Structure 1
Amino acid sequence: MVPIIRAEILTIGDEILFGQITDTNTQWIGSQLTDIGIRPVRKTSVGDNKADILDAFAAASERVDVIIVTGGLGPTRDDITKHTFCEYFGTELEINQEALELITAFFAKRGRAMTELNIQQAALPKNCTYIPNLWGTAPGMWFEKDNVVYVSLPGVPYEMKSLMEFEILPRLKAKFVSNIIQHKSVRTIGIGESFLAETIAPWEDALPAHIKLAYLPHFGQVKLRLTGTGTDQNQLDAELAEQVALLMPYIEEWVFGFDNDELETVIGSLLVQHQATVGTAESCTGGFVANQITNVPGASQYFEGSVVSYSNEVKMNVLGVSPQTLEAYGAVSEQTAREMAEGARTVLNTTFAVSTTGIAGPDGGTAEKPVGTVWIACATPDETFTQLLTLRNNRKINIELTSSYALNLLRKTILKTNLAIKG
């Protein structure tokens, strides 16, 4: 049996722990390792402290075959990764002539003078394999000890990615023979994680041992990720496809896509397919639904515009919501949501229009309509569909959840009126 090669990703830098920058490197590295059959099993972050870094090296070496280290390779005093590697491997720094030449050429090309700190970036632990960095001044390093590979990369994302793609991944593929790791995802919306788990329990219990399931919830959606491990790519693809086919009868009504599908891209494809258009009328979401739709390249083919009707005056004067409706039912009501959607469809001259009106919070709720009370609607040429949402006491989450549910209502409405659009 082909062994499973395990990896740990270690990020170094106080700026990550202090929340001053977002660690996007780990996610990208993890996906690249998986693509070559190496399984990431742990992520560790440590600050700019030598003792903590040494402890992290020692702990990781006991559980994985590959340790990918990012950060701490700059020219300033707080960048201590190279010095820490020297202590860990019992060696010392020396100027690597190949690295020095590359760094010198880097500065010369840009017409900049080198400082002593820049020169010291070419100082590397004697026992490392130098990895040239053609995109910056911090060299990569490769070490091996007790059958564990240690790779040190700069933390700057574009430099790290280039080194990984052109240097590290080919070297790892050449060194290790590993299983294929393949993912297949099913994207659902409108069903909670626990209810989803109960619904598919018979199918999940019957999964073969080499196929694992993960639940990944996010703003009203749950991604079901199947991860298969094997030695034959075609066989693994066929097995994952078979499991998805067995899963679908349990959850088909909640599935909106697969793998990298996003709700807004699925909607865009449906609208293009049927030569239909859409607009939005937004109150509590403040244009967030329109933002999601227009995040898709080519959205101008089907998106006409948006009315952010935050005040009742705009609801009445632009969208044509009746003053009597607002007086009798209030801005947060099924009736107002309905008239907003219908008014937007008329004003924007679209096939469909989506509306949102609610109490995002943290204030403004009442006993009758607490924070998180939201009405959404979707108007078509023939009818209007509405939905009540009872959300949380968190403004940001409420806005994102409302937008997600509004887009899903649009998706379901398009599918319901499929034949009418074709005609």
Structure 2
Amino acid sequence: MPHITAEIISIGDEMITGARLDTNTQWLSQRLGELGVDVQFHTTVADTLSHNTDVFRIAARRADLVIATGGLGPTRDDLTREAIAESLGRPLQLHEPSLKFIESMFQRRGREMPERNQSQAMFPIGAAPIHNPQGTAPGIDVRAPREDGTQSRIFALPGVPAEMKTMFDETVAPAVLGSNGQRRHIAHHVMKFFGVGESDMEQRLGDMIARDRQPRVGITVSAATISLRIVATGETMEACESAIATTRDEILRKAGEFYFGDGETFEQHHAVVQHLNKVGQRLLLVELGRAAPLGDWF
């Protein structure tokens, strides 16, 4: 796979001031890494048009792939469209199908669309909309030419995490794979382990965690729990799932004694409840103090 570099841009005064935690950049970095993309820059910028324009112009020069989140709303401080257009030296134009989709969303909710929302259907000339099935803000997909004759591809997504994640998985990830002749389907599977250190786990897995391996296996650690994320790409979803199943079996052979479950949100207390239900036993909890985390868990 060709070496692809990326920059992630987080837009909004609330990010600069620390009023909101930027979880989008973390999530995007992980997903891009799973696709084999080399994320080299994280940039955070306030809602200032000139600063946004500079950020997009610089990012397009130094990264093959630019992904921005935020600034696609209908209010006057949502400036991502204007900033991308100015960085490219192109005007904005109305995209009628996007406008009709936004209007239809308001109609389904029994509301009249405010005139300001029409701005969400404006795109730089040459850009394509990214469908947003959950909100009124379509994303932007546009290529920025560079002095050496190559192009940087810019994707602008909403800042709302649920919308951003869906749009990335359904549209951006397949586009990133397809633009370089890669396989267009991608699947994820998470396995959870406890009782083994990260370095010991890496030693057990050996070449399975190599960056050029397919499927890829990534390691993250949180609260003494190791998560192994298996990411497969393939010509069909069935091929992805088959590759994940084979890799999962291999991991269990190497470190199965520490495994306790599957899933992004599956934790140790879920495994305990699952086991107690299976064997028909009960658990009595006695907690002293105000925190009472076990009661909340179980």
TM range (shorter): 0.7 to 0.9
The 5 A counterparts of 1:399-414 are none
Letter in 2 for 1:257: F
Distance across 2 between alignment mates of 1:108 and 1:267: 47
- In the TM superposition, what are the counterparts of 1:12-23 in structure 2 within 5 Å? 12-23=11-22
CA distance in structure 2 between the aligned counterparts of 1:200 and 1:140, rounded to whole angstroms:
39
The residue matched to 2:284 in structure 1 has which SS? strand
The AA in structure 2 aligned to 1:96 is: H
**Measured at CA, do residues 39 and 285 of structure 1 come closer, stay the same or move farther in structure 2, by a change above 3 Å?**
farther
Distance 2:6 2:115 in 1: 35
In the alignment, what sits opposite 1:129? 128
User: d(CA) in 1 for partners of 2:290 and 2:253?
Assistant: 36
CA–CA distance in structure 2, aligned partners of residues 105 and 226 of structure 1: 38
1:225 corresponds to 2:225? no
Spell out, residue by residue over 1:341-392, the C-alpha distance to the aligned partner (whole angstroms, 9 max, x if none): xxxxxxxxxxxxxxxxxxxxxxxxxxxxxxxxxxxxxxxxxxxxxxxxxxxx
Q: Structure 1 unaligned segments of length 5 or more: list them.
A: 294-423
Taking the aligned partners of 1:99 and 1:201, their CA distance within structure 2 comes to 47
Asked if 2 retains the 8 angstrom alpha-carbon contact of 1:6 and 1:38, the reply is no
Are 2:254 and 1:246 aligned? yes
The corresponding residue for 2:39 is 41
Query: Shift in Å at residue 266 of structure 1?
Result: 0.9
Match of 2:181 among 149, 153, 177: 177
Q: Which has the higher contact order (CA 8 A, sep 6+)?
A: 2
- Amino acid across the alignment from 1:245: R
SS at 1:150's partner residue? strand
Q: 1:100 to 1:222 in 2, by over 3 A?
A: closer
Aligned equivalent of 2:297, options 288, 292, 296: 292
Aligned twin of 1:67:
66
Please state how far the C-alpha of 1:286 moved relative to its aligned partner: 2.7
Task: Name which of 257, 261, 265 aligns with 2:260.
Answer: 257
* Correspondent of 1:157 among 154, 161, 168: 161
Give 1:165 shift.
Answer: 4.8
236-245 or 126-135: which moved more? Answer: 236-245
* Cα offset, 1:184, TM superposition: 6.1
Deviation, structure 1 residue 73: 1.1
The runs of 5 or more residues in structure 2 that have no matched partner are: 145-149
Alignment counterpart, residue 187 of structure 1, candidates 185, 193, 209: 193
Please give the residue correspondences for 1:194-209 in structure 2 after superposition, counting only pairs within 5 Å. 197=199, 199=200, 203=204, 209=210
Instruction: Return the alpha-carbon distance in structure 2 between the equivalents of residues 283 and 25 of structure 1.
Output: 38
Distance 1:218 1:85, change over 3 A: same
> Where in structure 2 are the equivalents of 1:345-356 lying within 5 Å?
none
Q: Is the 8 A contact 1:226 1:240 kept in 2?
A: no
Closer, same or farther: CA 131–286 of 1 in aligned 2, 3 Å: closer
Q: Distance in 1 between matches of 2:202 and 2:123?
A: 54
SS at 1:278 equivalent? coil
* Superposition deviation, residue 135 in structure 1: 3.6
1:120 aligns with 2:119: yes
Letter in 1 for 2:260: G
User: How has the CA–CA distance of structure 1 residues 256 and 88 changed in structure 2, closer, same or farther, with 3 Å as cutoff?
Assistant: same
Structure 1 residue 266 and structure 2 residue 271: aligned? Answer: yes
CA distance in 2, matches of 1:38, 1:12: 25
| Deviation (angstroms), 1:19 | 3.4
Deviation at 1:274, TM superposition (A): 0.7
Pick which of 229-238 and 117-126 moved more: 229-238
Q: Which amino acid counterpart does residue 293 of structure 2 have in structure 1? A: F
- Aligned CA distance change for structure 1 residues 202 and 111 (closer, same or farther; 3 Å): closer
Give the drift of 1:134.
4.8
Quick check: 2:5–2:38 contact (8 Å CA) kept in 1? yes
Shift of 1:154: 1.7
Q: Does 1:89 align with 2:96?
A: no
Q: Tell me, in whole angstroms, the C-alpha distance in 2 between the residues paired with 1:102 and 1:230.
A: 31
Distance 1:187 1:18, change over 3 A: farther
Displacement, 1:124?
2.1
SS at match of 2:117: helix
What CA RMSD, in Å, does the superposition of the two structures yield over aligned residues?
A: 3.8
Distance in 2, Cα, partners of 1:10 & 1:98: 27
Contact 2:11 2:46 in 1 (8 A): yes
How much has 1:200 moved relative to structure 2? Answer: 5.7
Cα deviation, residue 83, structure 1: 1.1
**For the residues of structure 2 that align with 1:74 and 1:201, how far apart are their CA atoms?**
43
Normalising by structure 2, report the TM-score: 0.73
Residue 103 of structure 1 is matched in structure 2 by: 102
Alpha-carbon distance in 1 for matches of 2:5, 2:290: 43
Counterpart amino acid of residue 262 in structure 1: E
Distance (whole Å) between structure 2 residues aligned to residue 102 and residue 207 of structure 1: 45
Tell me, what secondary structure is at the counterpart of 1:121?
Answer: helix
Q: Count residues with an aligned counterpart.
A: 280
The AA in structure 1 aligned to 2:194 is T
Structure number with larger C-alpha Rg = 1
Partner Cα distance (2:138, 2:3) in 1: 29
